[in-house]
């Protein structure tokens, strides 16, 4: 099956006009499967970290949302142990008007503003609610331990 023009245009735009702090490139043999590197947002517990994600555009895209998950271990109330992400635009708030870049920016924003009231990792959310300072400290420690801290995304 031919690759839809929409995907080709989005890939081209990501190459020409990349999202600041995010690198998203399709793999050599599958234009629907992206390797993503995301810098942790400044002034967040994830600052200084570099996180690996995978993003897949299903056959139904753009009528259905991309499948995205973190490959880097995260301490975040909206990201579970398998890297799955609780984000409304990846579920019931998806719109075909959204693009890969919008999704990536939304995920980066979620790192800046965790939502423990809509958790995917209940234990982390509970910690965030009962002792936010300790939760943030733990998130920073995990970032130091698991995120690729070498070079930033250009």
Q: What pLDDT is attached to residue 149?
A: 63
List, in order, residues 6 or more apart from 28 with CB less than 8 Å away: none
Under a CB-based contact definition with an 8 Å cutoff, are residues 125 and 119 in contact? Answer: yes
Backbone phi, then psi, for 31, in 5-degree steps? -70, -15
CA distance 111 to 53: 13
- Summarised one tens digit per residue, pLDDT across range 88-104 is 999 999 999 999 999 99
Residues with a catalytic annotation lie at 86
Confidence of residue 1 (pLDDT cuts 50, 70, 90): low
pLDDT in tens, 32-74: 999 999 999 999 999 999 999 999 999 999 999 999 999 999 9
Distance CA 103, CA 68 (A): 9
What is the pTM assigned to this prediction? 0.92
Q: Containing H/E element for 54?
A: strand 50-56
Q: What is the pLDDT of residue 3?
A: 78
- Choose between 152 and 61: higher pLDDT: 61
DSSP character at residue 80: -
- How does pLDDT run across 95-149, given as a tens digit for each residue? 999 999 999 999 999 999 999 999 999 999 999 999 999 999 999 999 999 997 6
**CATH code for the domain defined by 5-146:** 3.10.110.10
Could you say which DSSP state residue 66 is in?
P
Specify whether the CB–CB gap between 57 and 7 falls below 8 A.
Answer: yes
């Amino acid at each position: 099956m031919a690759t839809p023009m929409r995907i080709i245009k989005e890939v081209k735009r990501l190459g020409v006009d990349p999202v600041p702090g995010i690198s998203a490139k399709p793999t050599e043999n599958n234009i629907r499967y992206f390797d993503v590197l995301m810098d942790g947002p400044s002034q967040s517990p994830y600052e200084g970290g570099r996180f690996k994600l995978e993003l897949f555009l299903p056959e139904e895209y753009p009528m259905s949302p991309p499948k995205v998950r973190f490959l880097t271990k995260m301490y975040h109330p909206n990201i579970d142990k398998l890297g799955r992400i609780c984000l409304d635009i990846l579920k019931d708030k998806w719109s075909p008007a959204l693009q890969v870049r919008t999704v990536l920016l939304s995920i980066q924003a979620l790192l800046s503003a965790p939502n423990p009231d809509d958790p995917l990792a209940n234990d982390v959310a509970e910690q965030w609610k009962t002792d936010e300072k300790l939760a943030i400290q733990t998130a920073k420690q995990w970032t130091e331990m698991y995120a690729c801290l070498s070079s930033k995304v250009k």
